[in-house]
Amino acid sequence: MKRVAALQMASGPNIAANLNEAGRLISRAADAGAELVVLPENFAIMGISELDKVGIREVEGEGPIQRFLMEQADKHRVWIVAGTVPLAGDDPRRIRAACLVYNDRGEQIARYDKMHLFDVQIAESGENYNESETIEPGSEVVVLDTPFGRLGLAVCYDLRFPELFRQMVNKGVQLIVLPSAFTAITGRAHWESLVRARAIENVCYVAAAAQGGYHVNGRETHGDSMIVDPWGQILDRLPRGSGFVIADLDLEKVENTRRSFPVLKHRKISCSLPK
- Count CB-CB contacts under 10 A for residue 229: 22
List b or e across 158-184, with b for residues whose CB sees 16 or more CB atoms inside 10 angstroms.
bbeeeebbbbbbeeebbbbbbbbbbbb
Handedness of CA 242, 244, 245, 251 (dihedral sign): positive
Is 90 exposed, middle or buried, given 0-12, 13-18 or 19+ CB atoms closer than 10 A?
A: exposed
Query: Known catalytic residue: 41?
Result: yes
DSSP assignments along 117-137, one per residue: --EEEETTTTEEEEGGGTEE-
Catalytic residue selected from 21, 35, 156, 204: 156
Within its chain, how far is the Cα of 106 from the centroid? Answer: 19
Query: Known catalytic residue: 156?
Result: yes
H-helix or E-strand spanning residue 200: helix 192-202
Q: Which residues contact 83 (CB under 8 A, 6 or more apart)?
A: 38, 39, 40, 41, 42, 43, 44, 99, 155, 179, 209
Catalytic residue selected from 114, 136, 204, 253: 114
Q: Rounded to a whole number, what is the distance in angstroms from the first to the last CA of the chain?
A: 39
Strands 234-238 and 225-228: antiparallel
Catalytic residue selected from 41, 58, 131, 136: 41
Distance CA 101, CA 121 (A): 31
Distances from the Cα of 23 to the Cαs of 85, 106, 270, in angstroms?
A: 15, 14, 42
Query: Known catalytic residue: 140?
Result: no
- Active-site positions? 41, 114, 156
